[in-house]
Amino acid sequence: MQRTTPDPRAAALVSLLHAHKSEHRIVDLKEYSLSRMELQATAKEVSESDWAFEAVCQAVEAMMAGVAASITAATSATVA
């Protein structure tokens, strides 16, 4: 596996996958000659970096804004 710095979106995805311990479901361990522990360690590394944390926070904020907008729209439609 090549060691490069992931872009913020990829880092956010890795952080979310790592939080759910499901990195192995996305990455083919045999293709990259990795053990599950090596993959988890790499995902942990990415998720602990500042820029990954920032990207995850932005993703959560965007999701919360979408949920709030959906609730507002549903409430407005019910009242009207």
13 has a pLDDT exceeding 90: no
Structure confidence at residue 1 (pLDDT): 58
Structure confidence by residue, pLDDT tens digits, 18-74:
877 889 999 999 998 999 999 999 988 888 876 666 777 788 789 889 999 999 998
- pTM listed for this prediction: 0.58
DSSP string for residues in 19-62:
HTT-GGGTS-TTTTT--HHHHHHHHHHHHHSHHHHHHHHHHHHH
Report whether 22 contacts 60 (CB < 8 A). Answer: no
80 has a pLDDT exceeding 90: no
